Structure 1
Amino acid sequence: MTFPPTPPLFRPPLPSIVLEHPDFYVVNKPPMWLTHQGRGRVDVPNVLDYLKWELGEPELAPPHRLDRETSGAQLFSRDADAARDFFTLFKDRLLTKTYLTLVHGHPRWQSQTVDAPLDFLGLSESNAVIIRQGVVPGGKEALTRFEVLGKRVHPQHGALSLLAALPQSGRLHQIRAHLSELGLPMLGDKIYGRDPAAFVAFMDGTLSPQQHADLILPRQALHAWRLEFGWAGAQMRVEVPLSVDMAGVWREAG
């Protein structure tokens, strides 16, 4: 069977395979791609359909999901048995995910653990975003470890830091919400960033040139860097280099 040229929907940068294993793939997911097709989002490219088209493997399935704006290491199981094994790894928290993120400011600490429950804040005069999470007493358990990997001063954007983030639970927007709690907003974050009006303006299509500039990046600066887990008696550790856009900002700050 001859496949047609890459459809326009699969626009560059394209997903690339970082590790091919008989049971799974680790793929570098580009920013602005969905992990799989969402409801009503046929206009947005998704990695699952691309890989099925590219590799001809109909049983591919993602045992976890990265947000559309998040780049980096994405797993895909190759058959039903592997999918079940990954389900167990995730359920029992036997798979460690480490993210890289760029934030505004310089923390006074080298490492920090945030153990703070998260839940929906609810719409109010101070919150116009229905999905915004925040630290709420009685919320869902959420724990994230942060480590400072570097501090620089960007000539235009001021103090920036590169952090590693290791979520010990999987709550909605966990890393971003905990960074907001620490007073370290993520670059490009339209919900938890420095401008509380950015997300509504973005959704309305009214984001101003100044708001675009203040975001620095058109997407949240979050990259899935490292996966660590046991598989068939071996310890797997896979890293995906920092995305081009985030690396560019960090390099400019050097």
Structure 2
Amino acid sequence: MGMPSPLPVRDGVGATRLHVPLTGDWPTIADYMVERFFHLDPERLLVRFDRGEIVARDGRPLRRETPLGAEEFVWYYREPPVEKEIPFTEEILHEDDHLVVIDKPHFLPTTPGGKYLQNSALVRLRNRLGNPELTPIHRLDRATAGLLMFSVRPATRGAYQLLFEDRRVEKVYEAVSARPAGWDPSRFPLVYRTHIEKHRGEVRVQVDDTREPNSETLIDVIDADDRVVHTLLRPHSGKMHQLRVHLAALGLGILHDGFYPELLPEQPDDFSRPLQLLARELRFLDPLTGEERVFTTRRSLQDAPAR
């Protein structure tokens, strides 16, 4: 169980916890934080100490003079960034005493991070449903649309999280890729496996073909025309960017993917060109009731072949 926050959820956003070294070259905790957050105005950060906005584990406000070593963890609320509005709305597909399932639009992050705070699925839903205990059970990339499941209450959260950890959730995705030269549909269906690693500080994952595979996806073709190939994806594992990496390795890089097969310069969001990847279906036996649960997206991929 994680360390409980001494601060309540505010406007749908939980407090941030920061680990502070117990020894070092900083006379005070404030001095450490000024160096740690060098990109912020130092005086603005120190004023937050004066206002009692940075607290210890017991909720006690810390002063700018509090010496290093007095506390190992501190909590504070992130100051809201100036956010660009994500002009798409999540749709609630299912809600009961334990689960909320939504259809997440492209471009909306699952949780707060970076320049997105209120414009995240978690914060939007906490505010919309008035439930500060709402927590995502799994994640979708910001660029990916489709099914996303949230826990309503802590008492039953672990049972649903174990479904994903034990790979007892059947996940189905769709993707649309540019049709490659020499396209040969007879190769499909196929199972693709490789070893994927995420290195700290790198935005893309790395593939190591010398190591035992740790990711696996069953890939089949739904349809194709002279422009694109529409695929059905059933991942057996859940590595970061797995589907994007596997399709790129097969020459089927997903349309509008700025990460794979090559990393493109960062650009502002172009809402007319969403990544053509969709979380289509979730299927599992409910750990509380034993009944089969099946959730299906109502979204579709704009670049899929017309049927």
Do both share a fold (TM > 0.5)? yes
Structure 1 residues 221 and 138, CA gap change in structure 2 (3 angstroms) = same
- Whether the 8 Å CA contact 1:28–1:71 is kept in 2: the answer is yes
Aligned position for 1:226: 281
- Whether the 8 Å CA contact 1:119–1:136 is kept in 2: the answer is no
Write the distance in 2 (CA, Å) between the matches of 1:116 and 1:230.
Answer: 28
Q: Structure 1 residue 76: deviation in Å?
A: 0.6
Q: Structure 1 residue 139: deviation in Å?
A: 5.8
Aligned position for 1:242: 299
Aligned position for 2:196: 118
AA paired with 1:18?
A: L
- Whether the 8 Å CA contact 2:144–2:275 is kept in 1: the answer is yes
User: More deviation in 222-231 or 233-242?
Assistant: 233-242
The structure carrying a bigger strand percent of its residues is: 1
Match of 2:115 among 41, 66, 71: 41
The structure carrying a bigger helix percent of its residues is: 1
AA paired with 2:105?
A: P
Write the distance in 2 (CA, Å) between the matches of 1:27 and 1:12.
Answer: 16
Structure 1 residues 31 and 239, CA gap change in structure 2 (3 angstroms) = same
Alignment of 1:210-221 (within 5 A): 218-221=273-276
Alignment of 1:1-254 (within 5 A): 11-38=86-113, 40-42=114-116, 45-105=119-179, 106=183, 107-119=185-197, 131-138=204-211, 141-153=214-226, 158=227, 160-193=228-261, 196=262, 199=264, 201-202=265-266, 218-231=273-286, 232-243=289-300, 246=301, 248-251=302-305
AA paired with 2:197?
A: D
Write the distance in 2 (CA, Å) between the matches of 1:11 and 1:132.
Answer: 26
Write the distance in 2 (CA, Å) between the matches of 1:202 and 1:144.
Answer: 28
- Whether the 8 Å CA contact 2:118–2:124 is kept in 1: the answer is no
Larger relative contact order, structure 1 or 2 (CA cutoff 8 Å, min sep 6): 1
AA paired with 2:225?
A: R
AA paired with 1:33?
A: L
Structure 1 residues 117 and 217, CA gap change in structure 2 (3 angstroms) = farther
Q: Structure 1 residue 233: deviation in Å?
A: 1.4
Q: Structure 1 residue 88: deviation in Å?
A: 1.1
- Whether the 8 Å CA contact 1:33–1:44 is kept in 2: the answer is no
AA paired with 1:23?
A: H
Q: TM (normalized to structure 1)?
A: 0.77
- Whether the 8 Å CA contact 2:283–2:295 is kept in 1: the answer is yes
- Whether the 8 Å CA contact 2:98–2:151 is kept in 1: the answer is yes
Larger Rg over CA atoms = 2
SS of the aligned residue for 1:190 comes to coil
Structure 1 residues 150 and 50, CA gap change in structure 2 (3 angstroms) = same
- Whether the 8 Å CA contact 1:71–1:224 is kept in 2: the answer is yes
- Whether the 8 Å CA contact 1:10–1:50 is kept in 2: the answer is no
- Work out the percentage of aligned pairs sharing the same amino acid: 26
Structure 1 residues 75 and 43, CA gap change in structure 2 (3 angstroms) = closer
Q: Structure 1 residue 188: deviation in Å?
A: 0.7
Write the distance in 2 (CA, Å) between the matches of 1:86 and 1:46.
Answer: 22
- Whether the 8 Å CA contact 1:133–1:172 is kept in 2: the answer is no
Structure 1 residues 146 and 139, CA gap change in structure 2 (3 angstroms) = same
Q: Structure 1 residue 92: deviation in Å?
A: 1.1
Q: Structure 1 residue 183: deviation in Å?
A: 1.4
Structure 1 residues 249 and 110, CA gap change in structure 2 (3 angstroms) = same
Q: Structure 1 residue 241: deviation in Å?
A: 2.5
Aligned position for 1:126: none
Q: Structure 1 residue 87: deviation in Å?
A: 1.6
Write the distance in 2 (CA, Å) between the matches of 1:188 and 1:163.
Answer: 15
AA paired with 2:93?
A: V
Q: Structure 1 residue 142: deviation in Å?
A: 0.7
AA paired with 1:227?
A: L
Write the distance in 2 (CA, Å) between the matches of 1:26 and 1:122.
Answer: 31
Structure 1 residues 130 and 66, CA gap change in structure 2 (3 angstroms) = closer
